[in-house]
Amino acid sequence: MKFNTKAIHGGQKPEKSTGAIVPPIFQTSTYAQASFGASQEYNYSRGSNPTRTALEDSLATLENGTHGFAFSSGLAAIDCVLRTLKPGDQIVAGNDLYGGTYRMFTKLFKKYGLEFNYVDTYSAKNVSEAITEKTTLVWLETPTNPLMKIADIQAISSEVKKVNPSILIAVDNTFATPYLQQPLNLGADIVMHSVTKYLGGHSDVLMGALIVKDAKLAEELHFIQFAAGAIAGPMDSFLALRGIKTLHIRMQRHSENAKAVANLLKNHPKAGAVYYPGLDDHPNYEVAKKQMKDFGGVVSFSLKDESKEATFKFLENLNFFTIAESLGGVESMVNHAATMSHASMPKEARLKAGITDSLIRLSVGIEDIEDLLGDLEKVLSK
């Protein structure tokens, strides 16, 4: 199947007992058993649920994996990956990460004995040179949140596996989605999504996901998910399945609109630096063009007037861009990284990563582009 067909049919079949085209919401915690000790597919919904199974099969198909897992949030999915490690293991991670991921690394798992080495993943050499005998996992975001840096997944995977084939490569694919980028095809071992964002697509679901190809790794992740219990519920699974059916057409419009917004900002006298991998002056534009089908719906930038007053004035005067923590919905949203998505990062760490107090992140929705550009022009001209 081609991707657009996968989004609608991948991993999904009409429901057995009724023939329902849309997987029903199996709002149940437990299942009747034929007899004591009888083996059956569903026993207790923490282990598996038919609605969640339909979603997990769909996710695996979209990412060209063999096993998918749906969690209660994106951070719950990351937590599951880290639980496969042991005290003393080292993780090499990007220095420009989602603030919640950074918080989990530094505030939770560091005290359990995991070690973290943060590098600029713009260069595969930076990553390979950070590998030590303790390294068991490389954690990548690409594009990164919020600076839209691009990591060359294939080059990094190749270099890391040359050093030690047992090191796992995990990629947070939230910003790109499987429509634009498929990390398992490029050498990664684990793909992670905040399904809350583009996969759900309608700002009404909180969910995370992991997708893998290796059966042994899948067995370990499933055990941790079952034992720890951070599963996605059937109603959220139903909503995510609904969102996935239009992922391809939404991502086309998100990308189209974001390119127009990035070009407006790049050429506007009041805009400063603009971060978007679809601009040909982006440092890793060629890598992005090679590994992505298009460039996505997130644009970050700063104003030339980098004062807090100018930044907040811009944020508060927008009409079609709602100030909000999240991204990836059909509606446009605007985020101030320093006080919102990355507030949990110490200021020193934020600044070192390039996340200044004036940085603004736009999640460009699928509204009429003339309305979005007009909104930005109006506020910038004040």
Active-site residue set: 46, 98, 172, 197
**Phi and psi of 115, rounded to 5°?**
-110, 140
Q: Nearest-5° angle of CA 99, CA 105, CA 160?
A: 105
How many CB atoms are located within 10 Å of the residue 227 CB? 11
Using the structure block, give the residue that is written with the tokens 């007009």: 374
DSSP 112: G
Q: Under a CB-based contact definition with an 8 Å cutoff, are residues 218 and 57 in contact?
A: no
Q: Concatenate the DSSP letters of all residues of 136-163 into one string.
A: EEEEEESS-TTT-----HHHHHHHHHHH
Q: Are 128 and 157 in contact (CB under 8 A)?
A: no
Q: Are 75 and 208 in contact (CB under 8 A)?
A: yes
Residue 220 CB partners (closer than 8 Å, separation 6+): 84
Residue 147 carries which side chain, given as an amino acid letter?
A: L
Of the candidates 83, 54, 27, the one whose C-alpha atom is nearest the C-alpha of residue 227 is 83
Residue 74 φ then ψ, to 5°: -60, -40
Q: Give the span between the Cα atoms of 158 and 114, in whole angstroms.
A: 24
Query: Which DSSP category does 53 fall into?
Result: H
